């Protein structure tokens, strides 16, 4: 029965048009519109694309595709409606505060989108003759120069496709440097508070991962770290500012100790937004740090990517950077790739991806950087830190803030679930925020805090927005402390109630099976 919308349909809707006029026939509720899958509404002969010609007959023999593929098509009008309806079931920065700690969900300027679509960038092929793509190389080079100067580092590898890919780049540089020294060090030290990608990256590159303990105030335990250093330690991976939202005061001492023991310092730059323009990681002894262009430099997150993770490198690691990269000779730009690497970059560890990296993100990030300039970027860090501290100090009386006593936070405020009523959890607070019209903060990360709630407002939120958010979170925190049962079943006003994740994992349905 096509009038019934399978997406939002429930058994009790069977008898539409009955006496009870609150029953829905369609499954829709005013502007909350349900949308079926393309497989339920599309047809194998329907298409939204016209061609000017008939296709000539192919002569491919046994290789010719004969069986149906099973791909539904929609007309353009149906397509636009399908995806527009889907989009309305998403929360987004464009709709409101998106305080996901560690993710830096700031406003995405639309000039960046316009520039990325200029034909000289968007409609250029990565293997075009070099003389025909000088402008594209110029963008890569100009962005590289900014990243080097903002971080005070020696050079930058631009090709990594995302943060975790950048981590891999840095770790491979360390491996190659150790190999060049003829040393086989197998251990990478990682704090317990690290992003999951850090240990996963080190393991993916063949290292053994060992934890570094934290001090009670949420920072790396320098004494414990020093005690563990030795000839088997290749390096450390430290996030700074760290995932508890704190600046690692001992960063320089950590770097010095690691260097003295023959290791290298990898810095996870996910939180660079807090210090851009105010602190240069190069001054802290860092050897490699990835920069998530989709965080600090505002390239859109796109519902989960694409990211971009250039890695700035110290002089010690620069010779091992991956191919390809762009160099400048006067007004001209040249690509260093496999064919000329033996002369110009002989110690490279190799190649991480096809082509040159995330060009579309480079154009957006450079546009963002030029818009802000050196003064604006410094203001970005200051406002981001100010906003986070404002949230921290405005809520520490109702929510447990485990590290609040150790001083100001950086760009994100960390709370725990301590003090909530029996049976109430961080998850209930998160779902309650949804009903108040907010995307929840990062929850249950970092792992070092019980029921962690990590709030990163970013610098693009006004005081009025923060005041309203603080009020909402305060009210929900009090409800959770008082054991309001309505919170347990939140959200009540979202397109969906809580979803059964156990069912999804126990009986995986990963593709349309109709």
Partner 1 sequence: MRYLPLTPDDRAAMLDTIGASSIDDLFADVPAEARLDGPIAGLPNHASELAVERHMGALARRSRAAGEGPFFLGAGAYRHHVPASVDHLIQRGEFLTAYTPYQPEIAQGTLQMLFEFQSQVARLLGTDVANASMYDGSTACWEAIVMARRITKRAKALLSTGLHPHYRSVARTMAKYTGDVLVDGDPTLEAGTDWAALAGSIDKEVSCVVVQYPDILGRIDDMTKLAEACQAAGALLIAVVTEPVALGLIKSPGEMGADIVVGEGQSLGVGLQFGGPYVGLFACKTKYVRQMPGRLCGETVDANGKRGFVLTLSTREQHIRREKATSNICTNSGLCALAFSIHMTLLGEAGLRQLAAINHGRAKAAAAELAKVPGVSVLNASFFNEFTLLLPTAARPVIHKLAEKDILGGVSLGRLYPDNAGLENGLVVAVTETVTEADISAFAAALKEVLA
Sites for partner 1 among residues 216-245 (CB under 8 A) = none
- Say how many residues touch partner 1, by CB under 8 A: 204
Rounded to whole angstroms, the Cα distance separating 372 from 366 reads 10
Q: Which of 29, 181, 418, 463 binds partner 1 (CB under 8 A)?
A: 463
Strands (E), 342-447: 413-415, 442-443
Instruction: Give me the least distance between CB of 163 and partner 1, in Å please.
Output: 7
Give the length of the chain.
514
Please answer whether residues 482 and 421 qualify as being in contact, where contact means their C-beta atoms are separated by less than 8 angstroms: yes
Rounded to whole angstroms, the Cα distance separating 92 from 82 reads 18
Q: Which residue, 486, 460, 176, is CA-closest to 345?
A: 176
Rounded to whole angstroms, the Cα distance separating 167 from 134 reads 29
Q: Which of 26, 327, 379, 416 binds partner 1 (CB under 8 A)?
A: 379
- DSSP assignment string, 338-356: HHHHHHH-TT---BSSSTT
215 forms part of the interface with partner 1 (CB under 8 A): no
Please answer whether residues 358 and 332 qualify as being in contact, where contact means their C-beta atoms are separated by less than 8 angstroms: no
Q: Which of 163, 170, 218, 269 binds partner 1 (CB under 8 A)?
A: 163
472 forms part of the interface with partner 1 (CB under 8 A): no
Q: Which of 353, 416, 468, 475 binds partner 1 (CB under 8 A)?
A: 353
Query: 223 vs 374, which CB is nearer to partner 1?
Result: 374
Q: Which of 15, 16, 23, 86 binds partner 1 (CB under 8 A)?
A: 86
Rounded to whole angstroms, the Cα distance separating 397 from 245 reads 18
Q: Which of 33, 97, 100, 312 binds partner 1 (CB under 8 A)?
A: 100
Q: Which of 14, 84, 215, 482 binds partner 1 (CB under 8 A)?
A: 84
Which two three-digit tokens encode residue 503?
A: 């069912």
What is the dihedral angle through the alpha carbons of 38, 41, 45, 49, rounded to the nearest 10 degrees?
-60
Q: Which of 4, 6, 224, 416 binds partner 1 (CB under 8 A)?
A: 6
213 forms part of the interface with partner 1 (CB under 8 A): no
Rounded to whole angstroms, the Cα distance separating 75 from 70 reads 17
Q: How far apart are the first and last CA of the chain?
A: 15
Please answer whether residues 265 and 287 qualify as being in contact, where contact means their C-beta atoms are separated by less than 8 angstroms: yes
Positions 138 through 157 that interact with partner 1 (CB under 8 A): 138-139, 142, 146, 149-150
Positions 9 through 48 that interact with partner 1 (CB under 8 A): 9-11, 35, 37-39, 42-48
Positions 274 through 303 that interact with partner 1 (CB under 8 A): 275, 277-280, 283-284, 294, 300-303
The H or E element spanning position 378 is: helix 359-395
Positions 169 through 188 that interact with partner 1 (CB under 8 A): 172, 175
Q: Which of 1, 3, 19, 63 binds partner 1 (CB under 8 A)?
A: 63
Rounded to whole angstroms, the Cα distance separating 433 from 474 reads 10
371 forms part of the interface with partner 1 (CB under 8 A): yes
Query: 435 vs 484, which CB is nearer to partner 1?
Result: 435
Q: Which residue, 481, 498, 489, is CA-closest to 424?
A: 481
Instruction: Give me the least distance between CB of 279 and partner 1, in Å please.
Output: 5
477 forms part of the interface with partner 1 (CB under 8 A): no
Contact stretch for partner 1 (CB under 8 A) within 15-23, 137-145, 229-237, 471-479: 137-145
Contact stretch for partner 1 (CB under 8 A) within 312-320, 359-367, 416-424, 476-484: 359-367
259 forms part of the interface with partner 1 (CB under 8 A): no
Q: Kindly give, in sequence order, each residue whose CB lies less than 8 Å from that of residue 26, ignoring residues fewer than 6 positions away.
A: 3, 4, 5, 8, 34
Positions 402 through 431 that interact with partner 1 (CB under 8 A): 407-408, 410, 430-431
């Amino acid at each position: 029965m096509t009038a019934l919308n399978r997406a939002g349909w429930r058994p009790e809707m069977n008898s539409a048009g009955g006496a009870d006029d609150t029953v829905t026939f369609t499954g829709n509720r005013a502007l909350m519109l349900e949308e079926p899958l393309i497989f339920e509404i599309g047809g194998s002969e329907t298409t939204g694309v016209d061609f000017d010609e008939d296709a000539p007959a192919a002569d491919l023999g046994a290789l010719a595709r004969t069986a149906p593929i099973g791909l539904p098509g929609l007309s353009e009008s149906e397509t636009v409606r399908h995806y527009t309806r889907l989009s309305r079931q998403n929360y987004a920065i464009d709709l409101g505060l998106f305080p996901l700690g560690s993710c830096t969900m700031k406003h995405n300027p639309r000039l960046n989108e316009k520039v990325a679509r200029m034909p000289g960038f968007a409609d250029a092929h990565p293997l075009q003759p070099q003389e025909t793509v000088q402008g594209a190389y110029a963008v890569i080079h100009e962005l590289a120069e900014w990243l080097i100067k903002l971080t005070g580092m020696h050079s930058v590898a631009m090709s990594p496709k995302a943060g975790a890919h950048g981590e891999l780049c840095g770790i491979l540089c360390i491996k190659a440097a150790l190999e060049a020294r003829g040393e086989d060090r197998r251990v990478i030290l990682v704090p317990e508070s690290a992003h999951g990608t850090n240990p996963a990256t080190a393991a993916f590159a063949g290292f053994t991962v060992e934890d570094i303990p934290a001090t009670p105030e949420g920072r790396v335990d320098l004494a414990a770290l020093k005690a563990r250093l030795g000839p088997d330690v290749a390096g450390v991976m430290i996030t700074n500012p760290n995932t508890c939202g704190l600046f690692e005061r001992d960063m320089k001492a950590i770097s010095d100790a690691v260097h003295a023991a023959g290791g290298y310092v990898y810095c996870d730059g996910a939180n660079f937004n807090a210090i851009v323009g105010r602190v240069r990681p190069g001054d802290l002894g860092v050897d490699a740090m990835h920069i998530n262009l989709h965080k600090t430099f505002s390239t859109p997150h796109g519902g989960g990517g694409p990211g971009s993770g250039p890695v700035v490198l110290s002089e010690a690691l620069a010779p091992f950077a991956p191919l390809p990269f762009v160099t400048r000779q006067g007004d001209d730009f040249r690509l260093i790739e496999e064919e000329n690497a033996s002369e110009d970059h002989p110690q490279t560890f190799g190649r991480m991806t096809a082509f040159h990296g995330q060009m579309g993100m480079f154009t957006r990030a450079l546009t963002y950087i030029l818009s802000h300039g050196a003064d604006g970027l410094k203001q970005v860090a200051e406002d981001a830190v100010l906003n986070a501290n404002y949230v921290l100090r405005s809520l520490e009386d109702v929510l447990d803030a485990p590290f609040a006593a150790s001083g100001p936070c950086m760009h994100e405020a960390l709370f725990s679930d301590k003090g909530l009523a029996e049976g109430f959890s961080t998850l209930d607070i998160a779902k309650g925020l949804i009903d108040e019209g907010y995307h929840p903060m990062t929850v249950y990360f970092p792992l070092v805090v019980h029921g962690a709630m990590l709030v990163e407002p970013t610098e693009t939120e006004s005081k009025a927005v923060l005041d309203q958010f603080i009020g909402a979170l305060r009210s929900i925190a009090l409800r959770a402390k008082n054991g309001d049962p309505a919170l347990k079943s939140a959200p009540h006003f979202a397109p969906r109630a809580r979803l059964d994740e156990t069912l999804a994992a126990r009986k995986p349905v990963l593709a349309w099976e109709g």
